[in-house]
Structure 1
Amino acid sequence: MTQELDVDQIIRHRIRTLRQNRGWSLEALASKAQLSVSTLSRIETGSRRIALDQLVPLAKALETSLDELVATSEAEIIIRPEPITMPGITLWKLSTDDAVNGVNVSKMRIDPSKAPAPSELRIHPGKEWFTVLLGEIQLQLGERTYHVKAGQSAQFDTMTPHAMWAKNGVAEILGIMDSAGQRAHEHDKDR
């Protein structure tokens, strides 16, 4: 029963906050959702139970989906990444598959004693960004080579032939790829 009340409170708070963020009065939202002002007021204050037939028009009026209006899953908040290991590389995926705009956030640890520098440059659709947390990364983009050290970042279009590896010892990076870049990397990993 307590968990049900908590969910109700979350939904009530979400309705009130979305309404207020749009600068709407109770009257404005009630009109858009085809509810009476008193019904909407009692929903927001907790004096009335929320019914599904009220949530659907409220979600539509608030320009959101019913799923987003009632979402309460803790799984969407806390991510417990499992390490993915390949020769010389350990990867932790820090975002979910439905992350904002399809981006993928991951942490990567590269040990050059166990992973030699790539022998060829890769090219695929997408954009990539990374920041070096530890050590130094050597990034080759076409004919140019860059040394990206701890505290520095790099971003590039992955249609430019590229490769990166740890230089002078173990390196760790935090990287972000758009959905096109992520699909290409997953395809390469499966080979």
Structure 2
Amino acid sequence: MKQDGDGDLDALVRSRIRGLRSALGMSLDDLAAACYLSPSTLSRIETGHRRISLDQLTAIARALGTSLDALVESGDADVVIRPRHDAERGMTTWTLRHEAGPGGTTVAKMRIDRPVAGPDQLKAHPGFEWFTVLSGTIALRLNERLILVEAGEAAEFDTMVPHAFGSKGGPAEILGIFDHGGRRTHLRKLD
């Protein structure tokens, strides 16, 4: 698997194989049988005494229940999640996870320091949203209803109901799961 002298990536992949196997409670014999390799071949792959071919790597990834991409992606990605502050909208967002695709969701921590919108400013879109309040109080407006959600409480609602949320009595922090419509509405800057 070494290409252009990239020993760091090679070592990272071998370490991931060994770590995943161990985390799954699989012995060398278990993994070797699952990917149709001999235990000695797998041991030499893990220790760096044997080159990994693409077909072996594919079989190993499948046996470990992961993707080839997950085994070989670079380990030098930025691990720090930086906040995105939007003073105009009164919120700071940390995007913790984003899954692309039609059924994907976004998980974000948000610090909200704005009042809830009035009934004439509500938005609706297909999907569902869920959030839990980490600190402070969130005012959630669903049509004409105003619901106060306190720290330690959570809310889930159909987003086809016109809605908006803001903080009450000072800043509030939430951890939310948003579908793509919710991500567009709540996490992206308005044009």
Q: TM-score range by the shorter chain?
A: 0.7 to 0.9
Aligned to 1:179: 179
Gaps of 5+ in 2: 1-5
Gaps of 5+ in 1: none
Query: TM-score by structure 2 length?
Result: 0.72
In structure 2, the CA distance between the partners of 1:81 and 1:50, relative to structure 1 (3 Å rule), is farther
Aligned to 2:92: 91
Post-superposition CA distance 1:47-105 (Å, at most 9, x none): 33444453223223333221111234343633222323324x12323224348x53231
Q: Distance in 2 between matches of 1:70 and 1:188?
A: 31
Aligned to 2:39: 37
CA RMSD after TM alignment? 3.4
Identity of aligned residues (%): 43
Q: Distance in 1 between matches of 2:14 and 2:188?
A: 46
Q: Among residues 75, 78, 81, which one is paired with 2:80 in the alignment?
A: 78
Q: Among residues 108, 112, 123, which one is paired with 1:105 in the alignment?
A: 108
In structure 2, the CA distance between the partners of 1:27 and 1:164, relative to structure 1 (3 Å rule), is closer
- Aligned runs of 1:28-177 on 2, under 5 Å? 28-75=30-77, 77-87=79-89, 89-98=90-99, 101-112=104-115, 117=118, 119-168=120-169, 170-177=170-177
Q: Distance in 2 between matches of 1:178 and 1:96?
A: 10
Aligned residues: 185
**Aligned 8 A contact 2:129 2:179 in 1:** no
**Aligned 8 A contact 1:27 1:37 in 2:** yes
More helix by share: 1
